[in-house]
Amino acid sequence: MALSKQEWLDLEKKVNDLRHLTLQTTVWAGSGHLGGGMSVLDLLTVLYYKYLNIKVDDPKWEDRDRFILSKGHAAIAYAPVLCDKGFNDPEMLKTFNLSGSKMGMHLDSNKVVGVDASTGSLGHGASIAAGTALAARILGKSYLTYIVTGDGELDEGSNWEAFMTMNHYKLSNCIVFVDRNHNMIDGNTEDVMALEPLADKFVAFGFNTVTVDGNNIKELCDAIDAAIERSKEAQAPTCIIMDTLKGAGLTSVQGDYHTHYMAIDDPTFEKYNAELDAYYAERVARAEKEAE
């Protein structure tokens, strides 16, 4: 599934559209977790438009790949993906976060089509993912489970219980991503609760661990291709630490922990849309250059 140049450019266009839609959704909602949504959006795009074996017309298909957004607050970016894919009516995005909406700040798997797990309470997704991956083994199914945690989320000890389970049962059919955007509500992760050396921690927990630029589609795809290859036999699971920018694409503020939760007024909306366009142009130029 090596990434062709055209595929790369198509994915760049798609993620750019989704960045704009995420920003727009934040405006409709009045505010939102824009920082962590933008940092993980490249991964969401790559998974949903290249890798996930899912059926939009049969969202509960039992052999589908599973995706668990353990950092459930990134729903502001995930909901646009699920609507764009066709699982839900895009009009629903206009109700995001509003009273009576099916789409809250954290998506409910019983209300939003295509969501495999209702997350939001941090530190839960990894165990659920271990469960779906173990179920695949027990039922003799070949589907894969993809799960993404935040980096601040890893402060929750329950994650590490799940990582021990993934390693103990050699769940290479479960691929773990960490959105390493370096920031959480109160500031930089290393100031709030030091995570480093993070990769060493995953190695110590038995994971085949790689670190990539999580805002680089080619690097993400290469790492996922390798993890899928490893999944073909039961062995140590793979953790892909994605070095990302919180608020990626909102170039005037990206990397700042204040992007964690933002309210956007009209002038800022215009400004950020322009920044996203410039960011897209840069990304396309990079893709054009690196694909050669």
Partner 1 sequence: MAGGFVYNAIDQTEVATAEIYGKAIADIMLNDPKVVAITADLAKSTKLGDVLKVCPERVINVGIAEQDMMGVAAGMAKAGIIPFVSGFSAFCSMRACDQLHTDICYQKANVKIVATHSGTSFGQAGSTHHAIADLAITRSLPNLTVICPADGFETANAVNAAYNTEGPFYIRINRGFDLVLYDNMDYGFEVGKAVTINEGTDITVIACGSCVAQAKKAAEFLKNADGLSVRVLNMHTIKPIDKEAILKAVLETRRIITVEDHLTTGGLGSAVSEVVVESGKACAFKMLGHESFAMIGLQEDIMADAGIDANGIIASVREVMKKDFEEDNDWDDEY
Residue numbers at the binding site for partner 1 (CB under 8 A) = 62, 66, 108-110, 116-118, 120-121, 123-124, 126-136, 138-139, 141, 158, 161-162, 164-165, 168-169
Q: How far is the CB of 133 from partner 1 (least distance, A)?
A: 8
Q: How far is the CB of 253 from partner 1 (least distance, A)?
A: 31
Q: How far is the CB of 124 from partner 1 (least distance, A)?
A: 6
Q: How far is the CB of 199 from partner 1 (least distance, A)?
A: 22
Residue whose pair of structure tokens reads 């609760």 in the numeric block: 193
Q: Please say which residue, 143 or 280, places its beta carbon nearer to partner 1.
A: 143
Q: Please say which residue, 163 or 280, places its beta carbon nearer to partner 1.
A: 163
Q: Please say which residue, 11 or 115, places its beta carbon nearer to partner 1.
A: 115
Instruction: Locate the DSSP E strands across the chain.
Output: 66-69, 145-150, 174-180, 183-184, 187-188, 208-213, 238-243
Q: Which of 262, 119, 288, 113 is nearest to 185 (CA)?
A: 262
Q: Please say which residue, 166 or 220, places its beta carbon nearer to partner 1.
A: 166
Q: Please say which residue, 80 or 131, places its beta carbon nearer to partner 1.
A: 131
Q: How far is the CB of 154 from partner 1 (least distance, A)?
A: 15
Q: Please say which residue, 14 or 106, places its beta carbon nearer to partner 1.
A: 106
Could you tell me how many residues make up the chain?
A: 292
Pairing mode, if any, of strands 183-184 and 187-188? Answer: antiparallel
Cα torsion through 41, 42, 44, 47, rounded to 10: 180
> Tokens at residue 202, please?
């995953």
Q: How far is the CB of 290 from partner 1 (least distance, A)?
A: 37
Q: Would you call 149 helix, strand, or coil by DSSP?
A: strand
Cα torsion through 76, 78, 83, 84, rounded to 10: 110
Q: How far is the CB of 164 from partner 1 (least distance, A)?
A: 7
Residue 280: strand pairing partners? none
Q: Which distant-in-sequence residues (6+ apart) come within 8 Å of 265 by Cβ?
A: none
Residue type, 276: L
Residue type, 140: G
Q: How far is the CB of 119 from partner 1 (least distance, A)?
A: 8
Q: What is the phi/psi pair of residue 40, to 5°?
A: -100, 0
Residue whose pair of structure tokens reads 């945690």 in the numeric block: 149
Q: Which of 153, 250, 160 is nearest to 192 (CA)?
A: 153
Q: Please say which residue, 127 or 244, places its beta carbon nearer to partner 1.
A: 127
Cα 164 to Cα 253: distance, rounded to the nearest angstrom: 36
Q: Please say which residue, 83 or 162, places its beta carbon nearer to partner 1.
A: 162
